[in-house]
Homo-oligomer: A and B are copies of this chain.
Amino acid sequence: MNAIGVDVGGTKIAAAVVTPEGKILKEVRYPTQAVPPNRLIETIAGAIREVKEGSEVGGVCLAVPGLILAAEHKVIFSPNLHEIEGIPLDEEIGSRTGLSVTVENDANAAAWGEFRYGAGKDVDHLVFITLGTGVGGGIITHGLLLRGAQGAGGELGHVTIDATGPRCGRGNHRSLEELASGTAIRRRAREVASEQPRSELGRLAIERELLGEDVTRLAQEGDEAAIRVLKETGVWLGIALAGFVHIFNPEVIAIGGGASRAGEFILEPARNEVQLSARSPSRDLVEIKEATLGPKSGVIGAAALARGADGEYVLGYSKRLT
């Protein structure tokens, strides 16, 4: 049966009706910034009602960035969506739409999308990492979405990989997120630009604020400074991935998110690092590649998770069960 996936992001709210084959039939979008105060729940519910019109759907799953208590259908902390923190969204949005509503971390939902229809569709063991403003993660192990006891699991970005390196603002040890997110790439690009002012990266940094896509474009054009920034990012990513290879012994690691558009500039050094740091047999099996669904993985994965939404979690093996 078709279901609705909702991507509740800091920039947009996108609701889509998705088929069991992962095809989007209809989609509506609202910019999050345009939502008036105290109207976020109503806007999400409105988007669901609008996209649902004329369709038969089984249920809804909201994919939300941040710390999720999926077992209670609550968002505990979400950087740009404080308004929905702590609210039982199954009740609040369920009552406004007449549908069964669950909540999932956005990266877990995207991981499920990649597992069902994307980079992991032929395997049972997938690690998904999204390199965006932050770093998100989602794990499928033995065909099962690793949610953990409260549905808060899969937070691969918060793993410390450099405990005694220079401290960040937050005072924490350096995590994967602090070293390999899109934000980290921009920060490192500014540093390298000022060290190498004659590079293309250095010249552009004098003109204007560097964006993540500038670094990728300049790397593609052969600028060594930009290539260096992405290579360093890839090495940090690879150090974390080597650990995930030992923990999960996955068949595929799929990298998504905006920064993954840098492609091989990041993936090749990451793969090299995994070959250096990880061990057989896990190291020999794993394939590290780009995710294939792009920014739609969240809504598609969420809809696939909603499909069993009769109060029961869809924990896993759905590739076979549906």
Contacts and interface: CB of A to CB of B under 8 A. Distances in A.
A239 B165 CA distance: 13
A284 B161 CA distance: 22
A5 interface: no
A30 interface: no
A248 B160 contact: no
A67 interface: yes
Contacts of A152: 249, 281-282
A158 B250 CA distance: 15
B139 A142 contact: no
Interface string A152-164: 1111101111111
Contact of A76 (B76, B165, B280): B280
B243 A158 contact: yes
B173 A281 contact: no
A283 to B, nearest CB: 9
**Total copies of the chain:** 2
A247 B151 contact: no
Interface in A199-230: none
A69 B69 CA distance: 35
B247 A172 contact: no
A153 B139 CA distance: 13
A281 B279 CA distance: 33
21 contacts: A67-B279, A124-B149, A141-B144, A146-B247, A148-B248, A149-B250, A151-B249, A152-B249, A153-B282, A155-B246, A158-B243, A158-B246, A160-B243, A160-B277, A161-B163, A161-B173, A162-B163, A162-B164, A163-B165, A163-B236, A173-B277
Given A125-B149, A148-B248, A247-B247, 8 more contacts: A76-B281, A141-B144, A150-B281, A153-B249, A153-B282, A159-B243, A160-B242, A164-B165
Interface of A: 67, 69, 76-77, 123-125, 137, 139, 141-142, 144, 146-156, 158-165, 172-173, 236, 239-240, 242-243, 246-251, 277-282, 285, 315-316
